[in-house]
Amino acid sequence: MARAKHNSKRTLCKRQPVTLYICRSCVWSEAKRERDGKRQGEFLFEAIKREVDLSRSPKNSTLRAVHCLNGCKSPCNVAFRSPGKHGLRFSHLTPENAGDVLSFLSSYYDSEDGDIPETKMPVSMRNKLTVRTPPPRIRSH
C-alpha cells in the first residue's frame, strides 16, 4: 500500500510547470567580459527566447532571466526547477546551445522526478551538470 502511495506522488510531479532560469550576468571570459556591450549570459538568454518564440518548448514552462546562478567560474549557467523534481544547474553553455537547452527542458518536463540520465541529454549538455539538488518534500495537508 505504501508503494502505491509513493507512486501516486511521483505521478503528480510529471508535467508540472517548469521554470528555466538563465544567468544574464555570465561573462565571455575574465579578459573579455562583454561583447557589443552585452555579457554572454544575455546572448544565451536572447538565443533561448528566440527558440521559445519558435514554439520549441513545453507550454507549461516559464523562462526567467536572473542576475546570478553562482556558477561564475564556469559560465554560462542555466537551471531547471519544477515542483517535486530535482533542481538541476548546467554550466559551460554557450548561445549555440539554446536549442539543446529547450530540448532538455522538454525531457525534464516529461520526467517524473527530473533525474535525467546523461545518455538521454543532448550531447552538448553532457558532462555539464554542475549542481543537482533534491526535490522539495511534497507536503500533504
Q: What is the pLDDT along the chain (141 residues), one digit of tens a residue?
A: 444 444 444 455 667 889 999 999 988 777 778 778 888 999 999 999 998 888 766 678 899 999 999 999 999 999 999 999 999 999 999 999 999 999 999 999 999 999 999 999 999 999 999 999 998 776 766
Q: What is the pLDDT of residue 136?
A: 77
Question: Distance (Å, rounded) from C-alpha 13 to C-alpha 10?
Answer: 5
Q: What is the pLDDT of residue 138?
A: 66
Domains of the chain, by residue range, sit at 14-133
Q: What angle do CA 47, 48, 49 make, to 5 degrees?
A: 90
**Cβ atoms within 10 Å of 28's Cβ, excluding its own:** 17
Q: What is the pLDDT of residue 141?
A: 63
Q: What is the pLDDT of residue 37?
A: 82
Residue 119: C-alpha distances to residues 7, 16, 86 (Å): 24, 23, 17
Q: Out of 3.40.50.970, 3.40.50.1980, 3.40.30.10, 3.40.50.300, which CATH number does the structure's domain 14-133 have?
A: 3.40.30.10
Put simply, whether the predicted model's pTM sits higher than 0.95 gets the answer no
Question: Distance (Å, rounded) from C-alpha 41 to C-alpha 84?
Answer: 27
Please give, one letter per residue, the 3-state secondary structure of the chain. CHHHHHHHHHHHHCCCCEEEEEECCCCCCCCCCCECCECHHHHHHHHHHHHHHCCCCCCCEEEEEECCCCCCCCCCCEEEECCCCCEEEECCCCHHHHHHHHHHHHHHHHCCCCCCCHHHCCHHHCCCEEEEECCCCCCCC
